[in-house]
Structure 1
């Protein structure tokens, strides 16, 4: 297993924005089946919208990051990655200290596991195989066998830390407030009163823009924020309080309903 590169605290900048090109899928035949890349970001980092010639599997060795496609926002962690098909325009962000990994799958000769971005569970077996492919002196025969095993086990996961962000003028104040403070306790009725519209109007707008109810949308935003805190090593009780739950048990139940996983699955290793 490779070790984390040093991340000098004193040299961190406040934020870095990276600009990458947008390529169509398979524009150039890649001379690899699976190529691995990893980096510890030294400061809060944003990637502007871009796309790759190859399919990409994003996951983290440490920390949580996000990938955005349109209004959909995925959270990427050490246990839950994201498959990004070649040519898919996406942007992303990661906080300082995040150790992210990207595995690129050659477009020619590799079949995408999905035509759209999908979550991928980073199982212990898949992790070991991907880490083996990152070894610089891996013999060609071993590389070929390991690549074949990766292609055999990488599959879409039914679990996804996915949130659709509303963008209409009506719902934008709610979205911004809840993202800023996931523990915000305002109900749909109170928001409707503050916005000067009926509760039914807000409820219908949420369903139309996010595909889910206001309550479930808030739960998904809270779950995303909770994952970021859990991967930083926060205790479950503290996370529950930070994202607006009265107890760890209430938080755990809501978290499982939203993600299909327990908070412990995302605790920093």
Structure 2
């Protein structure tokens, strides 16, 4: 059996009022469950609606990135934000779900399981450098000769590597931390400090600190900063100005937001502006 990868069915035309959200269903497939004879196969789509995908897995490796806009990929309690600057490598057979905001111009490159080696056994961020993007664009040229395609594919595999920068949040699920996670998800600009939450939940600040380190692998402050950065990226890619985004995610000035954003992502807010 041969599979041509596709993120899902085309949106329904619908009747009457235009749908504002679309949900797509994809199968759960094991690595190499179907024939994937290609080395690298590209795909692109512009989403007219906010779109979500159910839990699914691919028989091939996948590199997700966007030319414009923002999307998310979820594996268990881990949530990555995918942007034009930061892509995500999804190894074959990894169960994941996802979403993309309307207007996102998504790109995906599928790597044949039998013809390529995964850069990681787990999902990892990939910095979408100008060279990597140029090589992937070249593979989309229908007039590319077989020899040139093979050379370009080899170059992609040579420069492709995990990035130390990523927009990743481990969502805490314990009864202790769930109120914090839900509140910050609802309002990333929530100004309650570690001491405020400790008082509200009737525990010590040390107890919350230990719980955050155990469940998320990071501190309360760094977790908050990353959640805010993820939310900020979604707003920036929708075209919001930096000052308004800074206010929405809880910073008193655009400069303070810029410093925190760069500390968290290694990138400037301007790199994500629509």
Structure 2 gaps, min length 5: 1-12
Tell me the SS of whatever aligns to 1:20: coil
- Please say if 1:183 is aligned against 2:173: no
Paired position in structure 1 for 2:234:
228
Question: Offset at 1:234?
Answer: 2.2
Paired position in structure 1 for 2:31:
25
Q: Say which of 185, 205, 209 aligns to 1:199.
A: 205
Paired position in structure 2 for 1:79:
85
Paired position in structure 2 for 1:136:
142
Q: Say which of 143, 148, 168 aligns to 2:154.
A: 148
- Superposition TM-score, scaled by structure 2 size: 0.90
- Between 1:197-206 and 1:30-39, the stretch displaced more is 197-206
Paired position in structure 2 for 1:114:
120
Superposed CA RMSD in Å reads 1.6
- Structure 1: distance between partners of 2:266 and 2:18: 36
Paired position in structure 1 for 2:251:
245
Question: Offset at 1:12?
Answer: 4.4
- Superposition TM-score, scaled by structure 1 size: 0.92
Aligned pairs, number: 260
- Structure 2: distance between partners of 1:13 and 1:148: 42
Structure 1 gaps, min length 5: 1-7
Task: Evaluate the alpha carbon distance shift between residue 12 and residue 100 of structure 1 in structure 2; reply closer, same or farther with a 3 A threshold.
Answer: farther
- Between 1:236-245 and 1:140-149, the stretch displaced more is 140-149
- Between 1:135-144 and 1:48-57, the stretch displaced more is 135-144
Kept after mapping to 1: 8 A contact 2:64/2:82: yes
Q: Say which of 145, 169, 172 aligns to 1:163.
A: 169
Query: Where in structure 1 do 4 or more consecutive aligned residues deviate above 6 Å?
Result: none
Tell me the SS of whatever aligns to 1:67: strand
Task: Evaluate the alpha carbon distance shift between residue 140 and residue 97 of structure 1 in structure 2; reply closer, same or farther with a 3 A threshold.
Answer: same
Paired position in structure 1 for 2:43:
37
Task: Evaluate the alpha carbon distance shift between residue 54 and residue 11 of structure 1 in structure 2; reply closer, same or farther with a 3 A threshold.
Answer: farther
- Between 1:231-240 and 1:219-228, the stretch displaced more is 231-240
- Structure 1: distance between partners of 2:20 and 2:239: 22
Question: Offset at 1:11?
Answer: 7.2
- Please say if 1:15 is aligned against 2:21: yes
Kept after mapping to 2: 8 A contact 1:12/1:42: no
Kept after mapping to 1: 8 A contact 2:88/2:125: yes
